Every structure is written in C-alpha cells, then in structure tokens.
Chain A
C-alpha cells in the first residue's frame, strides 16, 4: 500500500506540477523576470540617448556641467556624483547584509541593516535633488544671436554648447537640447526607482518590526525587495557610465 503511493507520487511529480522547475519560489522568479523587463526599459532609454549622441557633431562636456560640490567653491569634476555612487554601493551592501540576517531569522539584524539601507536611499535622493536644483537654477551665459542671455540647464535650454569668442571674451553658444531631456528623463526615472525602493524597504522594515516574517518562518519578502534594490544600484552603474564618465 505504501509502495504504490510512493510510485504514484514519483511518476506524477515531474509533469503534474507541484515542483518548481527552476528550484526557486514563484515570487523570486517573477521578480527576476520583472527586473529583466525593467532592464530593457532602461536599456531603451540609455541606448536612445547614445544614438542621439552619436548622431551629433557636438555634445556637452560632462566634466564642465557636473563640476560643483556643495560647500566647495572651486572646480570639482566628478566629485559629487562619486559621492552619490558610493552612497548607493554602500546601501547595496547594507541590503545584502539585511537579507543575510533574514536567512538567519535574526529580526534585530534585519531591522538594523534595512534601516541603514533606507537611510542610504534617502541620502541618494537628497543628493539628486540638490544636483537637479543646481542644474536647473544655475544660470550660465549663452550667446544667442548677438545677445548674451543667462540660461539654466532644463529640458528646453542647454547653455553648454561650443564656445565662441565674442567681444574679446569666451562665451558658450546653445548646446543640443536633447541633453536636458535625456539627463532629466533617465536620472529621473532612476530616481523614481530609488524612491519606490525606499518605500518598499520601509514597508519591509515595518513588517519586520511587526514580526510578520518571523511568524511566517522566512524572510523571502526582504530577499525580493533586496533584488529590486540591487537592480536600482545596477542601473545607476550604467547611468553613471553614460552620463558622467564617457
């Protein structure tokens, strides 16, 4: 009697379901597939930017657009965005440590590392808010026709065009308008991902505090939130590359 039951079980097991084909849970697999599709969304944006940049004879020099650091008067190319990159990498580490504590069912550890991850995310968003404000409100001289105008960097104005000599002084001409659209569009879309990641992590922190995962017996939700958060870091690696480094 027992033997028959066992045989039925084993012949059914492969084709009749009840077994994960990828040796992982449904939720984790679907999170991965969502991230694959999201990477195509980001890829589409960044590749579109690259195509437009390749089609232009002139593009802005990022070392001169992004060269300020709050509190530092002089020229500091790459400095501020490096800080943002370090913040995001560090918050990725704290997230993976939170997931690790979850595997050990250590509630206090998950809380601590999740909290630090949320702080990192908020710090990154703060940096981005400063950078955007600085770009939009900082006025730069542009030669339009035979007149000097003062423009901020926006979706419709780009004061970072090629320099010409005018009245014995060097002044920029209008640069490619596409720069602002792509920069604010792509960093904004990424920033929105960071924001939703912070919200998701906050929900995870609250649920951890309330002991929901401890009751459930596993911290897989934190793991899935972690996948999303690492993806946000991963996208930033490419945004950093395409807008600030090359």
Chain B
C-alpha cells in the first residue's frame, strides 16, 4: 500500500522530463554511432584508392571526437554523474587526468621504438619495404585466388 502511495506522490511532471532526457541521450548516442560508422566506411572506401595520410588521420580524429562525445553522454546522463556533488566528481576527474600522460607517453614510446628499429637506432636510413599489396588494391592481372579454404 505504501509503495502505491509513494508512486502516486513521486509521479510529478518532472518525471516525464527525466524520461525524455534519457531518450534524448539515446538518440544522441545513436546519431554519434552512425556518424562513426559513416566515417569508418568512408575510410574503407578511400583505402581502395590511394588516400593521403593526413586525410585518413583527420577522419580518424573525427571518430575519436565522436567517441569522446558518446563517453560524455553515457557518464553524465546515464550514470547521472552530472547530478552528483561537484567535489565528488572532481575526486574522480582529477585522477583521470593521468590518462593524458598515459596515452601521450605510450604512443610516443611506441613511435620511437618503431623508428629505432627501422633505422637500427639511427645508424642507417630507413628503407621502405618492398612493395606489398593491401587486400584492397589488387594489382592488375593478379587474381586473389588464395581465399579461405
């Protein structure tokens, strides 16, 4: 009985607004995912030609931005972190800043490792490996005959 009265009391107009906010977040997430997919398929199509490296990097950058947008919506709307006490949010957001160092340091490290290996620690010039084909640009006159068994 108490539960019924509670439900009655708590069904205020702002309840509808809350549900609306949840569905709005869902649509935003859906649209961002579709944009990500569009970018991914665009890369797939461009790769068949000979795209410039910076163009692909730019599209990938857009995908990363969409992803961060999705993460923001999930955390602030679905997990209600936006409604929590400010200092509680900061007690988690500040340690999370470690990720800035974490990502930067390790990507730079991986990149440096590749350069060192390619040039024997800087003792020789890097030589591009002999021409190898990616699955998407099959050279003319060659068929892709070794497919799956």
Knowing A63-B44, A104-B11, A234-B74 are in contact, say whether A82-B37 is a contact too (CB < 8 A).
yes
Complex interface: chain A residues within 8 A of B33 (CB): 82, 85-86, 89
Question: Which single member of A23, A54, A230 contacts B85 (CB below 8 Å)?
Answer: A23
Docked Cα-Cα span, A139 to B146, in Å, equals: 11
How many of chain B's residues have a CB under 8 angstroms from any CB in A? 71
Residues from chain A with a CB closer than 8 A to the CB of B49 are none
B106 and A170 within 8 A (CB): no
Are A54 and B110 neighbours in the complex by a CB distance under 8 Å? yes
Cross-chain contact B144 with A169 (CB below 8 angstroms): yes
- Contact status B63-A57, CB under 8 Å: no
Q: Which of B102, B117, B132, B142 contacts A43 (CB 8 A)?
A: B102
Taking a contact as CB atoms closer than 8 A, the residue among A54, A57, A61, A244 that contacts B118 in the complex is A57
- In angstroms, Cα B74 to Cα A57, docked, is 35
Q: With a CB–CB cut-off of 8 A, which chain B residues contact A96?
A: 22, 77-78
CA distance A236 to B118 in the complex (A): 34
CB pairs A–B below 8 angstroms (27 shown): A22-B91, A23-B85, A24-B88, A39-B96, A51-B113, A78-B44, A82-B37, A89-B29, A90-B26, A93-B78, A104-B6, A106-B7, A141-B149, A163-B134, A164-B132, A170-B133, A170-B138, A170-B142, A170-B144, A234-B75, A237-B71, A237-B74, A238-B67, A238-B71, A245-B39, A245-B63, A246-B63
**Chain A residues within CB distance 8 Å of chain B:** 21-24, 29, 32-33, 36, 39-40, 43-44, 47-48, 50-57, 61, 63-64, 77-78, 82, 85-86, 89-90, 92-93, 95-97, 100, 103-107, 138-141, 143, 148, 150, 162-166, 168-173, 214, 226-227, 230-231, 233-234, 237-238, 240-241, 244-246
